A and B are shown apart, each in its own frame.
Chain A
């Protein structure tokens, strides 16, 4: 199906950019543009005229009920269009933005991989499918935030974002598992039919919410998003405002009809959304970096969307879809616009960006339009959607929760007007120190083409915000299909001029208060304090790392005697305790050996005692070899020639290896400092010596099924064409074991080689240091 092909095409371009076209990233970017435009085209053509939503399932693990299911309903169409069209604009912008930047290749590859994952995420009709793409977007986001991997800040922010969203993702996975287990399906439609209620549904819903909240930076996980602004502007504009952070909203939108009426859902969603809206708004008023202002405003707006989608009233859902579209457009435009100013002036400080008015007037006007849309000023699109949100919440009847949501949104709107106006103020104000900026200006003299490419997406975003505002009723009718895909009752309309009603009056008050606050808000205020959430995260993170180091130091002391002692004791304690519970094995048959066997055993015992008593390592190694030969003789006497031959050869080579290794060790001159006193070591030795024979005896008596060798004897010649059953077992019946063993052998050999090489390098380095010092 074309949708799978479209998603795969994104990844193909990503691979091409990262591997095939490393030196020509612009070509890869152009291929990416084609794929993004193609995807938008495919989505539109498939959606238009389709009577029912196209749906396709690819089976992955059908027995577990894990399948990839895509369904292109109205909501998926809108989201996919946002992903691919915004992707198109941002990628085109980035070609100019990354001019002369060596990281562009990596950017293009990761960007396309992200766009593909995000497209998959929004098309998913199944929690499990969504989860796969969800985690992929987390990974790409991590890599993109850390695009400039030399920067400590970027790396730390990337780790914060990854761990936060990753932890949420794991919670979500548990939630999905619970649902799958309880209701036998992870499909949204089937879950909706199952109408989960009860404790299990509440737990699962809460876990899913944790996933959504971490991804969409909702309180208390809101801290990672401003940190993610360490990424280059196109990344921030695309991932961290328009698309990826909407993944949590998409999940809310898809699951609210399923869980909306489970007890915890509405409270969780409304409280988290309202708190996030207020915290984000407050911080946006205080930041001095224009990009961080936008980041906090994104957090705030995501809070608004969370409330709208999560509360579960049909009108609110409709308003949510509308505002989601409006936000994606104006916020992408704003981020890219700030990028233009940054590119031009070399600063994003709100007290200085006023200088951009002279150098890039068109972009500044476009940014202004986007700001007005964010503030919700008529006639921009943001006005129509914000009005709808207020109307929807005024109409909703959810009691106390509904009131909290309504007044939360009103307060949040005051903030959003205020920070928008503050940025407007920064843009129209003439900065005090324009001299220092001229210097920067000379550095950033870019070609006309580059400047046009940079400005174009900003202007497009502004024009669309304005155009959608004027055509609000038409756009509103387009949004009916998406919102009714989420909730059949969510049919409504938008209007540029809704007439005088409660919502409009509230808006007027909000705008008036917000404008005053925003205009008066200081631009230079610098509360250069790390945000609380970030500090808490860092404290937890550092404590975890420190704790892990401490635990590692305890269980990995680097002492061979301790390792061997602990291992041997554990190996003995398990069978010993088992024999005490189940009874000892019978001793019958122990005396059935011949005199020859008995004498060989005695030789082995004497040699073993010698190993323990002897002081010289060389002699000890020889005695140990002697024990091995005696065992080989026992094997031969008991009719196991294969074992005997192998044991003999291994023993011979082991002695040689021993001697080779011992040769390099210093001679024992004094008694070694023992970690364990003599008595402890004797105790360990005795325990092993008693436990292992007991285990062998018990194992012999514990047989419940006929010996496996009978079956092997029967099948050996026919199926494996061999008469030596031992060998047939090794290479055929239990060949996998042998495969594993030779791999272990190979790893051990490589380990020896590398240890010796490392020691050799160390020695050479020491010698060369000495030589330098000597000369």
Chain B
């Protein structure tokens, strides 16, 4: 484990926030440029890996993420709903719908329905990384040599 206070601060202050932003940005941008839900999810996953290597629990805004399984379910559900919704309005599964709206101050924004699917992928990937960290990282490994679980 990394026991440097400075590094810990650095990760906590900057890397987490910037990394999260980058991950979301990459996911959004994926539709038109390299990126997407898979890459974005892996970037956020890498952020959590860094937090873990720094000896911290994976956190978002200092709150530990307790239940990655729920995130997994959320991601699958989001992807599934995006897949199935066109069926109810007479389309093919996963058919894309494109909306252009104009927001004040920002301008014209194009929203494609498949973005939701991509975020489903994003959540699943993040959840998988978190689960691997949680289960391979804390149980059966070095930490479990300590007398009680979760004390570290």
Q: A: which residues have CB within 8 A of B?
A: 641-642, 645-646, 649-650, 652-653, 656-657, 660-661, 663-664, 719-724, 726-728, 730-732, 735-736, 738-739, 742-743, 745-746, 748-750, 752-753, 756-757, 759-760, 763
Residues of A within 8 A of B80 (CB): 739
Residues of A within 8 A of B38 (CB): 646, 730
Residues of A within 8 A of B43 (CB): 649
Pick the residue among B72, B118, B142 that contacts A749 (CB under 8 A).
Answer: B72
Question: Which residues of B14-71 have CB atoms within 8 Å of chain A's CB atoms?
Answer: 30-39, 42-43, 45-46, 49, 53, 69
- Give CA–CA (A732, B114) in the complex, Å: 7
Q: How many residues of B contact A (CB 8 A)?
A: 53
Residues of A within 8 A of B142 (CB): 663
Residues of B within 8 A of A757 (CB): 135, 139
Pick the residue among A727, A742, A746 that contacts B31 (CB under 8 A).
Answer: A727
Is B85 an interface residue when CB atoms closer than 8 A count as contact? Answer: no
- Give CA–CA (A757, B46) in the complex, Å: 24
- Give CA–CA (A721, B32) in the complex, Å: 9
- Give CA–CA (A719, B142) in the complex, Å: 51
Known: A642-B39, A735-B94. A660 touches B72 (CB 8 A): no
Pick the residue among B31, B46, B112, B136 that contacts A756 (CB under 8 A).
Answer: B136
- Give CA–CA (A748, B135) in the complex, Å: 12
Residues of B within 8 A of A746 (CB): 72, 75-76, 124, 127-128
- Give CA–CA (A720, B98) in the complex, Å: 7
Chain B contact residues: over half helix, strand or loop, or mixed? helix
- Give CA–CA (A735, B83) in the complex, Å: 8
For the complex formed, measure the closest distance between the CB of A612 and the CB atoms of chain B, giving whole angstroms: 25
- Give CA–CA (A732, B34) in the complex, Å: 16
Pick the residue among A727, A728, A752 that contacts B131 (CB under 8 A).
Answer: A752
Find out whether the CB atom of A742 lies under 8 angstroms from the CB atom of B35.
no
The proximity string for B residues 84-112 relative to A, scoring 1 for CB distances below 8 Å and 0 otherwise, is: 00000000011110100000000000101
Pick the residue among B35, B45, B93 that contacts A736 (CB under 8 A).
Answer: B93
Pick the residue among A719, A724, A732 that contacts B35 (CB under 8 A).
Answer: A724
Task: Choose among A642, A721, A753 the residue with the greatest number of B CB atoms under 10 Å from its CB.
Answer: A721
- Give CA–CA (A663, B112) in the complex, Å: 44
Task: Choose among A646, A727, A750, A763 the residue with the greatest number of B CB atoms under 10 Å from its CB.
Answer: A727
Residues of B within 8 A of A749 (CB): 72, 127-128, 131-132
Find out whether the CB atom of B35 lies under 8 angstroms from the CB atom of A645.
yes
- Give CA–CA (A683, B34) in the complex, Å: 40
For the complex formed, measure the closest distance between the CB of A621 and the CB atoms of chain B, giving whole angstroms: 13
Chain A: CB-nearest residue to B99 = A721
Is B129 an interface residue when CB atoms closer than 8 A count as contact? Answer: yes
Chain A: CB-nearest residue to B127 = A749
Q: List 11 A-B contacts (CB under 8 A).
A: A642-B35, A645-B39, A652-B46, A657-B136, A730-B118, A732-B114, A738-B117, A742-B79, A742-B121, A745-B124, A746-B75
For the complex formed, measure the closest distance between the CB of A483 and the CB atoms of chain B, giving whole angstroms: 50
Pick the residue among A656, A663, A730, A739 that contacts B36 (CB under 8 A).
Answer: A730
Find out whether the CB atom of A646 lies under 8 angstroms from the CB atom of B30.
no
Is B152 an interface residue when CB atoms closer than 8 A count as contact? Answer: no
For the complex formed, measure the closest distance between the CB of A130 and the CB atoms of chain B, giving whole angstroms: 32
Find out whether the CB atom of A649 lies under 8 angstroms from the CB atom of B39.
yes
For the complex formed, measure the closest distance between the CB of B39 and the CB atoms of chain A, giving whole angstroms: 5
Residues of B within 8 A of A657 (CB): 132, 136
Is B140 an interface residue when CB atoms closer than 8 A count as contact? Answer: yes
Known: A730-B38, A750-B69. A720 touches B96 (CB 8 A): yes
- Give CA–CA (A653, B129) in the complex, Å: 8
For the complex formed, measure the closest distance between the CB of B42 and the CB atoms of chain A, giving whole angstroms: 4
- Give CA–CA (A646, B96) in the complex, Å: 24
For the complex formed, measure the closest distance between the CB of B97 and the CB atoms of chain A, giving whole angstroms: 9
